[in-house]
Amino acid sequence: MFQDFSVLARPEQGPARLDRLRQEMQAQGLQGYLVPRADAHQGEYVAPRDDRLAWLTGFTGSAGFCVVLMDQAGVFVDGRYRVQVREQVAGCFTPVDWPETKPGPWILQALGTGRVGFDPWLYTIGQIAELEEALAGSGITLVPGDNLIDQIWEDQPGPPMAPVAEQPLEFAGEAHSEKRARLASDLSAAGHRAAVITLPDSIAWLLNIRGRDIPRNPLAHGFAILHDDASVDLFMADEKLASVRGHLGAQVRVHAPDAFVPGLRALQGPVRLDKVSAPLAVHHALEGAGCEVAFGAEPCVLPKARKNAAEIAGMAEAHLRDGAAVVNFLSWFDRHAQGGISEIDVVTKLEECRRASNALLDISFDTIAGTGPHGAIMHYRVTNESNRELAPGDLLVLDSGGQYQDGTTDITRTLPVGEVGEEERRAFTRVLQGMIAMSRLRWPKGLAGSHIEAIGRMPLWMAGQDFDHGLGHGVGAYLCVHEGPQRLSRVSDVPLEPGMILSNEPGYYRNGAFGIRIENLIVVEQAAALPGGDDHRDMLCFRTLTYAPIDRHLIVVDMLSAEERVWIDRYHETCRQVIGPRLEPDARLWLDAATAAL
C-alpha cells in the first residue's frame, strides 16, 4: 500500500551534508567530486543503501547526478525532472539542465584546474571516457578512489539480502541451460573466452531467477561471468540462493561477492566488456591483471529484449488481468472523483484493485498520481506533505503498473475531475492522436526508435507543443518496467525487432497548471501483407497489449480523422470483449458505457 518514501531524502539536511563532503574532499586533496545516481551494477534502480544522490541533495528522481565543487554544487537532470528538482533541493545546490549542459564544459568553466574524484564502481567505462575527452588538455584530472559519501553517511543502510526465487519455465519460455549455451556459442564465434555481466536484470533473465533487492523490481544484486563453455560464475551472497541451488545446477558456480575482483583477475582473455554498462572498476581489474579486453555489447541485452512466445503470452495475460483491475478502479473513480478524495486516496485504491486479483507481487513503480499542477511534474510522487485533494476542473495524470509472475505492466490514463477547459481537451486530443498514430504505424524492418518517434509527436508539433521525455521505453517480462536497449527516442539507434515490448506514451505538460499523458504497452510484430500484395519491403508493426478505456469526455471528436475515430471505437470494442468477462456486474455496466462508440 501507499508508502511515503520522501522520508528517505532529507533536503533540509543538504547544506550540512554538503559541508561534510567538502571537508572530506579537502582532506583527500580534491577540488571536485562526482555523485551519480548509480550503484555498482549500473542498473536504473538502486537500493536504499546506494541512493547517495538523494541522501546528499534530496532529489529523488530516477536519473541525474551532482558535481560538487568547493564553491558550488550542480545537480544535473533531464527534462523529466526540472520542475521536481527545483522543489526538492536546498538552495546550496544549483539545478542544471542536462544533457543541454554537459558536465565536462560545466566543470571546465566552473573549476578551471584541479582534481575531481569519483568512485570507479559507479561510473561506466564509456561515461568516464566521454568526460576525460571533454577535459582533455585542461588542468583538470579525474581521480578514481573510495566513495566519499559512504565515508560520511553514518546511518547508511546495509546491502539488500532478499531471497532469490526461480522464474518457472512456463513463463521464461527457455531453460537457463539453453540460454547459456546459445550465448556461449555467440561468444565462441566472436573469439571471446568470457563475458562480464553486471546488470541485475541480465543475470535474472539469463539464469531464470528473480529477487527482491530493489524496490518494485524483481532483481537480485550480484555479478556474473559467462564462459564460452556455457558455465557461469555467479558472485552473489550464498544466503540469498538457498531455494534455487538445485535450479541453478552444477554449471553455475556460486561465489561470495567479494570474490568478484579476484575472479576477474584470474580470467584468460579475450574477455567481453560493455562500455555502456560495465563499471570502470571492472576494466581496471582486468587491465591490471594483464587480461585482454574485447569491448562489445553485453551478451544478454538484445536476447532479453526479444521476448519469446511464452514471455509475450504471459505479458498479454498480465495486461488483461491488470486491465480488469484498472477498470474496477476507473469505475470507482467515476463515482468518487468529486467527493473530496486526494492523490493518496487514488494511489491506495488503485493498488487495492490490483491486489484483489491475488496475483500482484508488487507494483512496478511508485504510482504517479498528479492532479492539477502536480500533473505537470512528469515523475511526480505524492508524499504526505504534497498530497493534494482533487478539485473540479482538474486533470489527473495516473501512471501506474503491476509486477506479476507472468508479466510487467505500465499504463497511464489522464482523467477529468468534472468538466475541464477546452484548452485541456484539445491538448488531450492531440496527445491521443499521437498515441493512435504510433499504434497504427507500419515501418520497414531495420529502423530504430529514433527514426519513427516523431510520428507520435507530430499532432503536438503542428500546434507548437511538445514534451520533454521519450515517446517510449522498453519493458521487461516480470523484470524492470524500464528496459533497454529498445526505445522510442530521438537518441535510440537500436533497430526495433519482433518481440520487443515498448511503451507508447506521448504527453503534454503546462508547468503550474496541468499535465496530460496517455500510455499503452505495445509489442513489435511482423506486419501482415497488405491486400493485393503491395508490400515491397519487409515490414513491422505494433500490437497493443494494454486494454483500458480512454476517457471520452476529454476527446474533441471534431479534431479526429475518420481513421482515428475508427481506431478509438475498435480499441474500446476490444476492451469490452477482453476485459468485460473479467469484471463484476457493476463494473461491467460502467465499462459498457465508458466504451460506447464516439
| Residue indicated by cell numbers 475541464 | 420
For helices 125-135 and 280-288, the axis angle rounded to 10 degrees is 90
**In which band, very low, low, confident or very high, does the pLDDT at 24 lie, cut at 50, 70 and 90?**
very high
Based on the fold, state whether residues 125 and 188 are members of the same structural domain.
no
Based on the fold, state whether residues 442 and 347 are members of the same structural domain.
yes
End residue of a domain, out of 246, 268, 303: 303
- pLDDT of residue 386 exceeding 80, the answer is yes
Per-residue pLDDT tens digits for 113-142:
999 999 999 999 999 999 999 999 899 999
Based on the fold, state whether residues 440 and 318 are members of the same structural domain.
yes
- pLDDT of residue 536 exceeding 80, the answer is no
End residue of a domain, out of 284, 303, 322: 303
Based on the fold, state whether residues 310 and 299 are members of the same structural domain.
no
Check: CB of residue 483 under 8 Å from CB of residue 201: yes
The whole domain housing 238 covers 165-303
Residue 422 lies in a domain: yes
End residue of a domain, out of 303, 328, 350: 303
Based on the fold, state whether residues 274 and 346 are members of the same structural domain.
no
| Residue indicated by cell numbers 551478451 | 299
Residue 38 lies in a domain: yes
Query: What are the residues whose beta carbons fall under 8 Å from the beta carbon of 67, sequence distance 6 or more?
Result: 32, 33, 34, 35, 73, 74, 76, 103, 106, 107, 116
| Residue indicated by cell numbers 530521438 | 490
Based on the fold, state whether residues 419 and 558 are members of the same structural domain.
yes
**In which band, very low, low, confident or very high, does the pLDDT at 423 lie, cut at 50, 70 and 90?**
very high
pLDDT attached to residue 194 = 98
Per-residue pLDDT tens digits for 44-60:
889 999 999 999 999 98
Domain count for the chain:
3
**In which band, very low, low, confident or very high, does the pLDDT at 533 lie, cut at 50, 70 and 90?**
low
Residue 595 lies in a domain: no
Q: Which three three-digit cell numbers place residue 179?
A: 540460454
Q: What is the mean pLDDT of residues 285-302?
A: 97
Residue 50 maps to which CATH number? 3.40.350.10
**What CA–CA distance (Å, rounded) separates 444 from 462?**
25
Residue 593 lies in a domain: no
* Cis before 99? omega within 30: yes
Based on the fold, state whether residues 186 and 207 are members of the same structural domain.
yes
Based on the fold, state whether residues 240 and 276 are members of the same structural domain.
yes
Residue 158 lies in a domain: no
**In which band, very low, low, confident or very high, does the pLDDT at 9 lie, cut at 50, 70 and 90?**
low
Based on the fold, state whether residues 122 and 225 are members of the same structural domain.
no
pTM of the entire structure?
Answer: 0.94
**In which band, very low, low, confident or very high, does the pLDDT at 12 lie, cut at 50, 70 and 90?**
confident
**In which band, very low, low, confident or very high, does the pLDDT at 283 lie, cut at 50, 70 and 90?**
very high
pLDDT attached to residue 45 = 85
Residue 159 lies in a domain: no
Cα distance between the two ends of the chain: 36
Residue 212 lies in a domain: yes
Residue 86 lies in a domain: yes
Residue 475 maps to which CATH number? 3.90.230.10
Query: What are the residues whose beta carbons fall under 8 Å from the beta carbon of 229, sequence distance 6 or more?
Result: 184
Contacts by residues 77-80 (CB-CB < 8 Å, ≥ 24 positions apart): 78/468, 79/378, 79/468, 79/469, 80/378, 80/379, 80/468, 80/469
Cα 362 to Cα 1, 113, 358, 409: the distances in Å are 10, 48, 11, 11
Based on the fold, state whether residues 521 and 460 are members of the same structural domain.
yes
Based on the fold, state whether residues 267 and 353 are members of the same structural domain.
no
Based on the fold, state whether residues 366 and 380 are members of the same structural domain.
yes
Per-residue pLDDT tens digits for 169-226:
999 999 999 999 999 999 999 999 999 999 999 999 999 999 999 989 999 999 999 9
Q: Which three three-digit cell numbers place residue 408?
A: 510487467
**What CA–CA distance (Å, rounded) separates 132 from 128?**
6
Per-residue pLDDT tens digits for 350-373:
999 999 999 999 999 999 999 999
Is residue 484 classed as helix, strand or coil in its secondary structure?
Answer: strand
* Cis before 270? omega within 30: yes
pLDDT attached to residue 13 = 85
- pLDDT of residue 4 exceeding 80, the answer is no
Residues 557-580 as b or e (16 or more Cβ within 10 Å = b): eeebeeebeebbeebbeebbeebb
